[in-house]
Amino acid sequence: MNKLKIFGEPIIDANSIEQIKRCLSGPDDRATLTADAHYGYGHPIGGVVAYKDKISLSGVGFDIACGNKACQTNIRATDIDTGKVMDEIFKQIGFGIGRPNPKPIDHPVFDDISKAGFAPQRAMMKLAMDQLGTVGSGNHFVDLFEDEDGWLWIGIHFGSRGFGHKTTMGFISLSKGKKFDEHAPEGGMDAPPILFDAGSALGQDYLSAMRLAGQYAYAGRDVVVNKVLEILGAQPVFEVHNHHNFLWEEEHFGEKYHVVRKGATPAFPGQYGFVGATMGDTSVIIRGTVFHCTRRRPGDEPQPGCRKKTLAQRQGGIPEQRTGGLARRKKIHESTGH
């Protein structure tokens, strides 16, 4: 069985291909590199690796559980004043590095943090409370979309904020023999991936801490979508919510694996995903389908590799229409898969 499957190899830079090869640590590991993958820290974005007995910190990345949520509302896109709504969103939701939420939030996830199985996360309570429901910076966003039927959608993209980043930095320190709260250089993009033995205490601690950061990221995206619904005076009709920087324990080829996806959303048959595009492209709701390679590879990865039709549509010149912050999105249930 081929250990590495590359989609769109002619358009992927050589560094990303060499990087995914370095991520494979054992004879039973399997990997997929998706069509618009690019170079990352220790693990390419758009790279998926199924490890037999390793836990990959580098495959999850600095922003644990970064992901997307899309929500179709019950109001028409033409019925809102987009500029006023976006101004209100910016006023009521925190954007930017380290910026706290303008209004304190209470949420059940804080109870989980107070009882965190990995003790150092309990000390991050203030950070977690300050930043829950904030968006951050970089390519993270809150946006409004109009689908082809004229309905208004909310789309967001961000992860576990400072809570996840501080967790990652602490485990990088532990991987280098330092204490959790000691500083350690994270290494450059060419550094080998940081891998923990799956059965080790450190590996199990990382899994516990990562999962809690995942809960926090889900909670944060829920809070933001609910706030935007409140601003709009709208109700949710249909929601899609996924991590794309995370590790799952899954079964493939009749064996159990630790599957890490970095910049790649799970798309098992029937599973929906939201793939947010650039400001100049059409964002899509996709749904996993059975494809010839799903029986042989570790899952279907739509962001970016399962965007079989989406990439073709983009190449065909389907534009995103944007006026005053309102983007047009393809809502649909296009079949996707490798």
Give residue for tokens 């990345």. 61
Can you point out the beta strands (E) in 10-90? Answer: 30-38, 45-51, 54-56, 67-76
Gap between the Cα atoms of 213 and 194, Å rounded: 18
Gap between the Cα atoms of 284 and 106, Å rounded: 32
CB contact at 8 A, 217 and 243: yes
Q: Position 312: which residue type?
A: A
What are all long-range contacts of 249-257, with beta carbons under 8 Å and residues at least 24 apart?
250/50, 250/298, 250/299, 252/30, 252/50, 252/297, 252/298, 252/299, 253/1, 253/30, 253/296, 255/28, 255/52, 257/30, 257/50, 257/51, 257/52, 257/298
Angle, nearest 10°, between helix axes 201-232 and 82-92?
140
DSSP state letters, 80-91: S-HHHHHHHHHH
Gap between the Cα atoms of 170 and 108, Å rounded: 24
pLDDT at 54: 98
Q: What is the pLDDT along the chain (338 residues), one digit of tens a residue?
A: 579 999 999 999 999 999 999 999 999 999 999 988 999 999 999 999 999 999 999 999 999 999 999 999 999 999 999 999 999 999 999 888 777 777 788 999 999 999 999 999 999 999 999 999 999 888 889 999 999 999 999 999 999 999 999 999 999 999 999 999 999 988 888 899 999 999 999 999 999 999 999 999 999 999 999 999 999 999 999 999 999 999 999 998 889 999 999 999 898 999 999 988 777 788 999 999 875 444 434 544 443 333 322 222 222 222 222 223 344 444 433 323 32
State the chain's maximal CA–CA distance in angstroms: 58
pLDDT at 302: 43
**What's the CATH code, domain 4-268?**
3.90.1860.10
Q: Where are the domains of the chain?
A: 4-268
Give residue for tokens 């009709």. 237
CA count, 13 A, side-chain hemisphere, 56: 35
Q: Position 307: which residue type?
A: R
Q: Position 110: which residue type?
A: F
pLDDT at 188: 85
